[in-house]
Amino acid sequence: MTGTNMERAFGTDLLIVGGTAAGTAAAVAARRAAPGARILLVDKGHDVAYSTCELPMYAGGQIAAEEALVRYTPDTFSGTFGVDVWTGAEVVGFAPGGRTARLADGRRVSWQRLIVAVGAHAIIPPFAEWEEGLGPGVFVLRTLSDARRIRERFTTEPPAHVVVIGAGYTGLEAAVALGQDTRVSVVAPQGRLLPSGLSEPLSRIVAERLTAGGRITIRAARATGLDRAPDGRPLAVITDDGERIGCGAVIVATGIRPSADVVAQLGLRRDDVGAIRVTSAMRTNKPHIWAAGDCAAIPEAVTGRPQWIPLAMNAFRSGRVAGRNAVFSLAPSSGRPATLSPAVAAFAVRLAGLDVAHAGLRLEMARAAGFSADSVDIVGASHSRSLGGEDVHMRLVHDTKRGVLLGAETVGPPGSALRMNTVAALIRLRATVDDLEASDTVYHPDVSPLHDPLRVAARTAQKRRS
């Protein structure tokens, strides 16, 4: 049964609020653990199972067909897994002291167990708001619906110049995707690119590559206003240094926040960014309620403390754990309750032919967490220089007292980002720079160098500590 159901009251064993990675993973895990359970997934949007990481490429036209992103439609998801799915169904509140959710259209759902998987939403600066939305020509890129709007506009009425407000991963991916056919200005409020993931030296390398073709310009400024035509279309972005950047479209990419306000009535504990605090079993502080995905703070591997790490794999994993545990009492013979292992924050993106990635903690984060941290910067080779090997820039962050690996960053040719998989695995094992330097790596002149950049960085850190 999908979203056409309009019964005013409905009862279910498990209510899942939110789809995409965490919600659908929870539904599938719950169905497998408890084949007879009544499961209802509700989502305020109209798409429940699609690839979010490919949205910039779809918006920019590099992915031709929307079907390539959609894994299941609401109907096929419901039919495949035997889960009731309601789309266009926004939960607006919960009955005080009871297990009943209220929907915007007046329907009510009584539940025995609840999984909150509402994800995160784009931060919209007040100056970008227009009436009850963003207005024509102003976009965010968070959902498939957002990508559709961008693609439709850029296909039917391509602007000559686009301003991207924000220099994080989403903003830069959008800039590269859209910059193939139009001029793009990126407004970087912190004065550099990817401030949450890269040190300043590596950020400069990325900036040089992005601007080399002349179609992308980076402005170190903060957007403070938006000049619009009477119908709401953007004419220019105003910055804090008084510049007026003329444009025909604006992409707002100023970050995201957990979308947990809808469950405020439930009294769930949240952290300082608004993410719901959970145990390793994804259980909240309230009985019969679990949370998963981008709205939850999960254990982080380096510090051991809860941290908000909004990544697709974390959403998928936490959703599976929450789904299994939420119905465990209905099918205790299905094994043991599940737990989520501490996560390593690992990000990667490809921008203008450069792999950009990091894993673990940046130097500033490590020191703020109480570590006696230091970093080393090296330049290695992707493979033999005589066969066209290119520079691989690497920063390795380690604890000076024990040599424990805390994090790493890299910028290099395609394939360089995969080294962060090694770093993430070693961080989880609490490995040291000695362990990394002693690790075995493949060597072939046309594939990889004799001295891999990771091992070179580890050896440099050893020398620094000796």
pLDDT in tens, 355-366: 999 999 999 999
- Confidence at residue 258, expressed as pLDDT on a 0 to 100 scale: 95
Q: How far apart are CA 270 and CA 326, in angstroms?
A: 20
**By the 8 A CB rule, do 99 and 16 touch?**
no
The CB-side HSE value for 55 (13 A sphere, CA atoms) comes to 23
For 376, what's the count of Cα atoms within 13 Å in the CB-facing half-sphere? Answer: 23
223, burial (CB in 10 Å: exposed 0-12, middle 13-18, buried 19+): buried
Strand partners, 87: 43
In this model, does residue 5 exceed pLDDT 80? no
- What pLDDT is attached to residue 224? 96
Distance CA(266)–CA(93), nearest Å, equals: 9
Q: How confident is the model at residue 9 (pLDDT cuts 50, 70, 90)?
A: confident
pLDDT for position 332:
67
Inform me whether the pLDDT recorded for 96 exceeds 80: no
d(CA 145, CA 104): 19
Contact 276, 270 (CB under 8 A): yes
Report residue 188: phi and psi, to 5°.
-100, 100
Among the residue ranges 259-263, 306-310, 311-315, the one predicted with the least confidence is 259-263
Q: Is the pLDDT of residue 88 over 90?
A: yes
Structure tokens belonging to residue 243: 């510049």
Rounded to whole angstroms, how far apart are CA atoms 265 and 191? 39
Q: What pLDDT shows up at residue 2?
A: 54
* pLDDT for position 262: 82
pLDDT score, position 181: 85
Confidence at 95, pLDDT banded by 50, 70, 90:
confident
Q: Structure tokens of 413?
A: 């040719």
Complete domains list, the chain, with CATH? 9-48+61-120+257-334 (3.50.50.60), 124-254 (3.50.50.60), 350-465 (3.50.50.60)
pTM, 2 dp: 0.93
What mean pLDDT is predicted for residues 155-167?
A: 95
Cα 255 to Cα 140, 141, 316, 321, distances in angstroms = 10, 10, 21, 27
Convert 408-429 to b/e letters by CB count within 10 Å (16 or more is b): bbbbbbeebbebbebbbebbbe
The pLDDT of residue 7 is 58
In angstroms, the CA 205 to CA 372 distance is 27
In the chain, pLDDT over 90 holds for what percent of residues?
A: 89
Does residue 320 register a pLDDT over 50? yes
396 Cβ neighbours under 8 A, 6+ residues apart: 375, 376, 378, 405, 407, 408, 433, 436, 454, 457, 458, 460, 461
H helices of 114-185, where? 144-156, 169-178
In eight-state DSSP terms, residue 383 is S
Mean pLDDT on 74-93: 96
Q: Is the pLDDT of residue 201 over 50?
A: yes
Whole-angstrom distance, CA of residue 17 vs CA of residue 93: 11
Task: Tell me the pLDDT tens digit for each residue of 101-125.
Answer: 999 999 999 999 999 999 999 999 9
pLDDT category at 4 given cuts 50, 70, 90 is: very low
Q: Are 108 and 10 in contact (CB under 8 A)?
A: yes
**Residue 353 confidence class, pLDDT cut points 50, 70, 90:** very high
pLDDT band at residue 447 under the 50/70/90 scheme: very high
In this structure, the chain runs to a length of 466
Closest by CA position to 365, among listed 197, 239, 200, 235: 197
Determine the pLDDT at residue 217. Answer: 96
Count other Cβ atoms within 10 Å, centred on residue 248.
19
Band (334; pLDDT cuts 50, 70, 90)? low
Average model confidence (pLDDT) for the chain? Answer: 93
What are the tokens at 164? 């991207």
Q: Is the pLDDT of residue 375 over 90?
A: yes
